[in-house]
Amino acid sequence: MKLHILGTGTAIPRIERGSSAYLVTTKDVNVLVDVGPAVVRRLLERGGYEVDDVDVVVLTHFHVDHTADLSTFFFACNYGRVPRIKPLTVIGGKGLARFYRGLRAIYPWITPKSYKLTVKRLVNDSIKLFGLTITTVPVNHNPESIAVRLEEKRSITFSGDTGLSPNLVRICEKTDMLVAECAFPERKVKGHLNLASLDKIVQKAKPKRVLLTHLYPDWDDYPGVLHAPYLLAEDGMEIDLPG
Ligand SMILES: [Zn+2]
Ligand SMILES: [Zn+2]
Protein backbone atom coordinates (compact mmCIF):
# COMPACT_ATOMS: atom_id res chain seq x y z
CA MET A 1 0.00 0.00 0.00
CA LYS A 2 1.39 3.38 -0.94
CA LEU A 3 0.20 6.89 -0.04
CA HIS A 4 0.91 9.71 -2.48
CA ILE A 5 0.39 13.18 -1.05
CA LEU A 6 -0.94 15.25 -3.95
CA GLY A 7 -1.68 18.37 -1.91
CA THR A 8 -1.66 19.61 1.68
CA GLY A 9 -3.30 23.03 1.41
CA THR A 10 -6.69 24.68 1.75
CA ALA A 11 -8.89 27.07 -0.21
CA ILE A 12 -6.12 29.66 -0.05
CA PRO A 13 -4.21 29.56 -3.36
CA ARG A 14 -0.54 28.83 -2.66
CA ILE A 15 2.45 27.77 -4.71
CA GLU A 16 3.79 25.46 -1.98
CA ARG A 17 0.57 23.69 -1.07
CA GLY A 18 -2.06 22.51 -3.54
CA SER A 19 -5.56 21.65 -2.38
CA SER A 20 -5.60 18.65 -0.04
CA ALA A 21 -5.80 15.40 -1.99
CA TYR A 22 -4.25 11.94 -1.83
CA LEU A 23 -3.81 8.87 -4.00
CA VAL A 24 -3.63 5.44 -2.37
CA THR A 25 -2.27 2.70 -4.60
CA THR A 26 -2.27 -1.05 -3.92
CA LYS A 27 -1.39 -3.79 -6.37
CA ASP A 28 -5.08 -4.09 -7.30
CA VAL A 29 -6.69 -0.66 -6.93
CA ASN A 30 -6.02 3.10 -7.02
CA VAL A 31 -8.13 5.32 -4.80
CA LEU A 32 -8.22 9.11 -5.10
CA VAL A 33 -9.30 10.90 -1.93
CA ASP A 34 -10.70 14.36 -2.76
CA VAL A 35 -10.52 16.21 -6.06
CA GLY A 36 -10.00 19.89 -5.31
CA PRO A 37 -8.67 22.52 -7.72
CA ALA A 38 -5.94 21.28 -10.11
CA VAL A 39 -5.85 17.76 -8.67
CA VAL A 40 -6.29 16.10 -12.09
CA ARG A 41 -3.06 17.80 -13.20
CA ARG A 42 -1.39 16.95 -9.88
CA LEU A 43 -2.03 13.25 -10.56
CA LEU A 44 0.05 13.58 -13.71
CA GLU A 45 2.78 15.53 -11.97
CA ARG A 46 3.07 13.07 -9.08
CA GLY A 47 3.73 9.76 -10.78
CA GLY A 48 2.16 10.17 -14.18
CA TYR A 49 -1.29 8.99 -13.14
CA GLU A 50 -4.16 9.73 -15.50
CA VAL A 51 -7.87 9.72 -14.68
CA ASP A 52 -8.12 6.24 -16.21
CA ASP A 53 -5.72 4.91 -13.58
CA VAL A 54 -8.15 5.81 -10.79
CA ASP A 55 -10.72 3.13 -9.88
CA VAL A 56 -12.37 4.80 -6.89
CA VAL A 57 -12.87 8.45 -5.94
CA VAL A 58 -13.77 9.28 -2.35
CA LEU A 59 -15.14 12.74 -1.52
CA THR A 60 -14.74 13.62 2.16
CA HIS A 61 -17.22 16.51 1.66
CA PHE A 62 -18.43 18.93 -1.00
CA HIS A 63 -16.50 22.12 -0.19
CA VAL A 64 -14.91 23.55 -3.30
CA ASP A 65 -11.33 22.93 -2.14
CA HIS A 66 -12.18 19.19 -2.10
CA THR A 67 -14.38 18.80 -5.20
CA ALA A 68 -13.72 21.58 -7.77
CA ASP A 69 -11.83 19.28 -10.16
CA LEU A 70 -14.40 16.47 -10.08
CA SER A 71 -16.06 17.84 -13.23
CA THR A 72 -12.61 18.08 -14.84
CA PHE A 73 -12.06 14.45 -13.88
CA PHE A 74 -15.35 13.26 -15.42
CA PHE A 75 -14.83 15.39 -18.52
CA ALA A 76 -11.38 13.85 -19.07
CA CYS A 77 -12.92 10.35 -18.76
CA ASN A 78 -15.11 11.15 -21.78
CA TYR A 79 -12.78 13.27 -23.87
CA GLY A 80 -9.28 12.03 -22.99
CA ARG A 81 -6.95 10.42 -25.53
CA VAL A 82 -9.16 7.33 -25.39
CA PRO A 83 -12.67 7.30 -23.90
CA ARG A 84 -12.71 5.55 -20.53
CA ILE A 85 -13.86 1.92 -20.50
CA LYS A 86 -12.95 0.98 -16.93
CA PRO A 87 -15.77 1.28 -14.36
CA LEU A 88 -15.51 4.10 -11.82
CA THR A 89 -16.95 4.26 -8.31
CA VAL A 90 -17.46 7.59 -6.55
CA ILE A 91 -18.05 7.37 -2.81
CA GLY A 92 -19.28 10.17 -0.56
CA GLY A 93 -21.60 11.10 2.28
CA LYS A 94 -25.17 12.31 2.62
CA GLY A 95 -26.45 14.14 -0.48
CA LEU A 96 -23.90 12.65 -2.89
CA ALA A 97 -26.52 11.75 -5.53
CA ARG A 98 -27.95 15.28 -5.39
CA PHE A 99 -24.48 16.81 -5.65
CA TYR A 100 -23.73 14.67 -8.70
CA ARG A 101 -27.07 15.54 -10.32
CA GLY A 102 -26.29 19.22 -9.73
CA LEU A 103 -22.92 18.91 -11.48
CA ARG A 104 -24.55 17.16 -14.43
CA ALA A 105 -27.18 19.88 -14.66
CA ILE A 106 -24.41 22.46 -15.08
CA TYR A 107 -22.02 20.30 -17.10
CA PRO A 108 -24.09 17.79 -19.12
CA TRP A 109 -20.87 16.71 -20.90
CA ILE A 110 -19.67 14.88 -17.81
CA THR A 111 -22.34 12.17 -18.13
CA PRO A 112 -20.42 8.91 -18.70
CA LYS A 113 -20.33 8.00 -22.39
CA SER A 114 -18.40 4.77 -22.48
CA TYR A 115 -17.95 3.50 -18.91
CA LYS A 116 -20.05 2.46 -15.94
CA LEU A 117 -20.20 4.97 -13.09
CA THR A 118 -21.41 3.96 -9.63
CA VAL A 119 -22.26 6.85 -7.31
CA LYS A 120 -22.32 5.35 -3.84
CA ARG A 121 -23.39 7.04 -0.64
CA LEU A 122 -21.46 5.36 2.17
CA VAL A 123 -22.02 6.49 5.76
CA ASN A 124 -21.43 4.36 8.88
CA ASP A 125 -20.83 1.47 6.53
CA SER A 126 -18.13 -0.52 4.73
CA ILE A 127 -17.67 -1.72 1.19
CA LYS A 128 -15.02 -4.08 -0.21
CA LEU A 129 -13.62 -3.16 -3.61
CA PHE A 130 -10.66 -4.91 -5.25
CA GLY A 131 -9.63 -6.44 -1.91
CA LEU A 132 -9.68 -3.06 -0.15
CA THR A 133 -12.16 -2.40 2.64
CA ILE A 134 -13.46 1.18 2.63
CA THR A 135 -15.23 2.36 5.79
CA THR A 136 -16.68 5.79 6.51
CA VAL A 137 -18.19 7.62 9.47
CA PRO A 138 -19.71 11.11 9.70
CA VAL A 139 -17.46 13.77 11.19
CA ASN A 140 -17.95 17.26 12.48
CA HIS A 141 -17.62 19.80 9.64
CA ASN A 142 -20.45 19.76 7.06
CA PRO A 143 -23.59 17.58 7.11
CA GLU A 144 -22.07 15.32 4.44
CA SER A 145 -18.55 15.20 5.92
CA ILE A 146 -17.00 11.78 6.39
CA ALA A 147 -13.74 10.28 7.62
CA VAL A 148 -12.55 7.32 5.58
CA ARG A 149 -10.53 4.24 6.49
CA LEU A 150 -8.89 2.20 3.73
CA GLU A 151 -7.76 -1.23 4.89
CA GLU A 152 -5.93 -4.10 3.31
CA LYS A 153 -3.20 -5.73 5.41
CA ARG A 154 -2.35 -2.20 6.56
CA SER A 155 -4.65 0.77 6.98
CA ILE A 156 -4.71 4.47 6.15
CA THR A 157 -7.40 6.69 7.67
CA PHE A 158 -8.31 10.16 6.38
CA SER A 159 -10.00 12.53 8.81
CA GLY A 160 -11.38 14.81 6.09
CA ASP A 161 -12.06 18.32 7.36
CA THR A 162 -13.38 18.05 10.91
CA GLY A 163 -13.45 19.44 14.39
CA LEU A 164 -13.31 17.15 17.43
CA SER A 165 -15.31 14.05 16.66
CA PRO A 166 -15.91 10.83 18.64
CA ASN A 167 -16.50 9.05 15.32
CA LEU A 168 -13.02 10.01 14.18
CA VAL A 169 -11.58 8.47 17.35
CA ARG A 170 -13.45 5.27 16.58
CA ILE A 171 -12.49 4.98 12.92
CA CYS A 172 -8.78 5.74 13.34
CA GLU A 173 -8.21 3.36 16.24
CA LYS A 174 -4.74 1.78 15.87
CA THR A 175 -4.62 2.68 12.18
CA ASP A 176 -1.15 2.50 10.61
CA MET A 177 -1.41 6.04 9.23
CA LEU A 178 -3.83 8.78 10.19
CA VAL A 179 -3.89 11.54 7.58
CA ALA A 180 -5.33 14.23 9.81
CA GLU A 181 -6.49 17.70 9.08
CA CYS A 182 -4.68 20.04 11.46
CA ALA A 183 -5.68 23.31 9.88
CA PHE A 184 -3.94 25.46 12.48
CA PRO A 185 -1.16 24.80 14.99
CA GLU A 186 -2.83 26.81 17.72
CA ARG A 187 -5.77 28.88 16.46
CA LYS A 188 -9.21 27.53 17.39
CA VAL A 189 -11.66 27.52 14.46
CA LYS A 190 -15.01 25.76 14.49
CA GLY A 191 -15.07 22.64 12.29
CA HIS A 192 -11.29 22.29 12.22
CA LEU A 193 -8.58 20.81 14.41
CA ASN A 194 -5.44 22.31 15.90
CA LEU A 195 -2.54 20.44 17.52
CA ALA A 196 -4.15 20.35 20.96
CA SER A 197 -7.53 19.07 19.78
CA LEU A 198 -5.96 16.54 17.40
CA ASP A 199 -3.79 15.27 20.24
CA LYS A 200 -6.92 14.40 22.24
CA ILE A 201 -8.00 12.13 19.38
CA VAL A 202 -4.53 10.63 19.01
CA GLN A 203 -4.20 9.87 22.74
CA LYS A 204 -7.45 7.89 22.64
CA ALA A 205 -7.17 6.15 19.26
CA LYS A 206 -3.40 5.51 19.22
CA PRO A 207 -2.76 5.64 15.47
CA LYS A 208 0.82 4.52 14.71
CA ARG A 209 1.68 7.60 12.65
CA VAL A 210 -0.11 10.91 12.15
CA LEU A 211 0.43 13.03 9.07
CA LEU A 212 -0.72 16.63 9.50
CA THR A 213 -2.38 18.18 6.47
CA HIS A 214 -4.95 20.77 5.27
CA LEU A 215 -2.48 23.37 6.46
CA TYR A 216 -3.29 27.07 6.65
CA PRO A 217 -0.48 29.67 6.37
CA ASP A 218 -0.38 29.79 10.21
CA TRP A 219 1.95 26.81 9.84
CA ASP A 220 4.52 28.82 7.85
CA ASP A 221 6.06 30.39 10.91
CA TYR A 222 5.19 27.78 13.50
CA PRO A 223 8.25 27.71 15.75
CA GLY A 224 7.50 24.39 17.49
CA VAL A 225 9.07 21.01 16.81
CA LEU A 226 6.85 18.03 16.10
CA HIS A 227 7.57 14.69 17.74
CA ALA A 228 6.46 11.16 16.85
CA PRO A 229 3.87 10.08 15.92
CA TYR A 230 3.39 13.48 14.23
CA LEU A 231 4.82 14.46 10.88
CA LEU A 232 4.01 17.57 8.85
CA ALA A 233 2.87 16.65 5.34
CA GLU A 234 4.37 18.27 2.24
CA ASP A 235 3.10 18.16 -1.33
CA GLY A 236 4.79 15.34 -3.23
CA MET A 237 5.53 13.06 -0.25
CA GLU A 238 5.22 9.33 -0.88
CA ILE A 239 4.88 6.93 2.01
CA ASP A 240 5.11 3.15 1.68
CA LEU A 241 3.17 0.92 4.01
CA PRO A 242 4.66 -2.49 3.21
CA GLY A 243 2.68 -5.72 3.71
ZN1 LIG B 1 -11.02 22.01 3.21
ZN1 LIG C 1 -14.21 21.93 4.32
Q: pTM to 2 decimals?
A: 0.98
pLDDT per position as a tens digit, 146-181: 999 999 999 999 999 999 999 999 999 999 999 999
Closest Cα to residue 241, out of 20, 27, 37, 88? 27
- Looking at residue 140, its pLDDT comes to 98
Q: Is the pLDDT of residue 56 over 90?
A: yes
Dihedral pair phi/psi, residue 22, rounded to 5°: -145, 145
Domain residues for 70? Answer: 2-240
Judged by its nearest atom, the ligand closest to the C-alpha of residue 181 is: 1
Q: What is the CATH number of the domain that holds 180?
A: 3.60.15.10
Neighbours of ion ligand 2 (CB under 5 A): 63, 161
Distance between Cα 214 and ligand 1 center (Å): 7
- Looking at residue 239, its pLDDT comes to 98
Closest Cα to residue 215, out of 239, 201, 234, 228? 234
Q: How many domains does the chain have?
A: 1
Distance between Cα 61 and ligand 1 center (Å): 8
Judged by its nearest atom, the ligand closest to the C-alpha of residue 11 is: 1
Distance between Cα 146 and ligand 2 center (Å): 11
Which residue type sits at 35? V
